[in-house]
Amino acid sequence: MTTAALPPLEPLLRRSAKRTRDIFTSESEDILKDEETSTRVRLACKIHDEYRDYKELPSVLLAQQGVVGPSRPGGPPRKMITAGVDSNTSKIIATIDKTPQAQPSTFSTSTKLTQALTLHKTTRTIKPTYHPPWKLVRVISGHLGWVRSVAVEPGNQWFATGAGDRVVKIWDLASGELKLSLTGHISTVRGLAVSSRHPYIFSCGEDKMVKCWDLEANKVIRHYHGHLSGVYSLSLHPTLDVLVTAGRDASARVWDMRTKAQIHVLAGHTATVADVKCQESDPQVVTGSMDSTVRLWDLAAGKTMVTLTHHKKSVRALAIHPTEYSFASGSAGGNNIKKWKCPEGSFVFNFTGHNAIINTLSVNAEGVFFSGGDNGTLTFWDYNTGTPFQNMDDVPQPGSLEAEAGVFCSTFDQTGTRLITGGADKTIKVYAEQSQ
């Protein structure tokens, strides 16, 4: 048997396709008509099934519904003005009552609206706690550079300041006298903290150094190496032997105070971390950064718990309330001081009114909240309600430029009755509550 006898396939395929087309083209118009009809029927069924119960409002809602649109004014029936001057037209227009008719409220009763408005008024008018005004009581000179950091020791006998002259100075809190100068940093001292559990003071600076000073020997006993750039802030954990530092390398680092070992690198910020604070309960570490975010950290895992993105500009300052489970953050503009509730970091309210770049925040146990601006403006607030009760201007000392009125750091003493600030005029200022 040979394959040569079989006819070629191509002409057969072409002929078959042609015949198939001839069969179906005659019916294609009818098929299209059927499709349109079925689509319409299907759509009608769908509308009926899905929307039949919603064509009219339920009777209960219909009863509450007011009259739709304005009603016609009362008076005689209106006449249509025809061509020519009609002597009665002006009289008819004059008799039309222009006072609009009272319409029934869309609320079921007017009392509900009254109740809602009353509730709104009561929730808005929370009276702030009275705080006596504050006044400047002492100006301490001694530093040769901008005063960038301040910390009060737990015994409330003395406080320490760090400045652009690279020196840490220790002052007597009662008299304002210089007790000690600690030299060792080779650039501006940006952060200070005094331990409540050990006779140590910790300092950090723009020279990437974090130092631990023994106050019994008045010398450095430990260095914490690891930051890649200037260190701008540090904080001691209240109950653990842990130190947290933060700076220009966009990270916060957790150190074992004793062994100098780095426990965690808290990474996630994308710009300089300007301030860091520690507290006993979660979030145990809070950081504010120039990337305009605030982060709450899980200290055990070394990871971010929450990122707060409400600020529009760089966050430069944080303040944790000593007794209330909350904290505040300050930034460089636009509703620039915000209060947050722990542990989840839910937003409470804005402190509105201090329109400046906020460099420092402090709060005491009585609910006096202080904010210091880059332009030398100082504001005292009631922390519970966010009401400002006093505005002041930092007066630059004689010999300083007017531009040197910035406030860089602040802290309340342990009693909360004195406020210590450091500024651009190289002085330390002490404010106190005015006695009644």
Q: Are strands 285-289 and 407-412 parallel, antiparallel or unpaired?
A: unpaired
**Rounded to a whole number, what is the largest CA-CA distance in the chain?**
127
Rg (CA), the chain: 38
User: Would residue 126 count as lying in a domain?
Assistant: no
How far is it, in rounded angstroms, from Cα 345 to Cα 361?
18
| Helix locations, 106-257, DSSP H | 110-124
**Domain count of the fold of the chain:** 1
Q: What is the pLDDT of residue 1?
A: 53
The 3-state DSSP class for residue 407 equals strand
Whether residue 246 contacts residue 287, with contact meaning beta carbons closer than 8 Å, is answered with yes
Per-residue pLDDT of the chain (436 residues; tens, 9 = 90+): 555 678 888 888 888 888 888 877 766 555 556 678 888 888 888 888 877 777 777 777 777 766 555 555 554 555 544 445 455 656 665 666 666 665 555 545 556 777 777 766 655 557 888 999 999 999 999 999 999 999 999 999 999 999 999 999 999 999 999 999 999 999 999 999 999 999 999 999 999 999 999 999 999 999 999 999 999 999 999 999 999 999 999 999 999 999 999 999 999 999 999 999 999 988 999 999 999 999 999 999 999 999 999 999 999 999 999 999 999 999 987 789 999 999 999 999 999 989 999 999 999 999 999 999 999 999 999 999 999 999 999 888 777 776 678 999 999 999 999 999 999 989 999 999 987 5
Phi, psi values for residue 19, rounded to 5° = -65, -40
User: Would residue 96 count as lying in a domain?
Assistant: no
User: Would residue 222 count as lying in a domain?
Assistant: yes
Any residues with CB less than 8 A from the CB of 8 and at least 6 apart, and which?
Answer: none
Number of helical H runs and strand E runs in the chain: 5, 28
User: Would residue 113 count as lying in a domain?
Assistant: no
User: Would residue 155 count as lying in a domain?
Assistant: yes
Whether residue 382 contacts residue 351, with contact meaning beta carbons closer than 8 Å, is answered with no
How far is it, in rounded angstroms, from Cα 306 to Cα 327?
14
Give the burial string for 212-250 (b: 16+ CB within 10 Å, else e).
bbebeeeeeebebebbeebbbbbbbbeebebbbbbbbbb
Nearest 5°: the CA angle 267, 268, 274 is 85
- Structural domain harbouring 402: 134-433
Whether residue 250 contacts residue 272, with contact meaning beta carbons closer than 8 Å, is answered with yes
User: Would residue 9 count as lying in a domain?
Assistant: no
How far is it, in rounded angstroms, from Cα 322 to Cα 215?
26
User: Would residue 383 count as lying in a domain?
Assistant: yes
Q: What is the pLDDT of residue 27?
A: 61
- The pair of structure tokens assigned to 287 is 């950081």
User: Would residue 154 count as lying in a domain?
Assistant: yes
Task: Give the sheet arrangement for strand 315-320, strand by strand.
Answer: 315-320, 326-331, 337-341, 346-350
Any residues with CB less than 8 A from the CB of 395 and at least 6 apart, and which?
Answer: 136, 405
Whether residue 328 contacts residue 308, with contact meaning beta carbons closer than 8 Å, is answered with no
> What's this model's pTM, rounded to 2 decimal places?
0.71
Region of residue 367 (left: phi > 0; alpha: psi -120 to 50; beta: else): left
CATH of the domain at 161: 2.130.10.10
Q: What is the pLDDT of residue 82?
A: 47
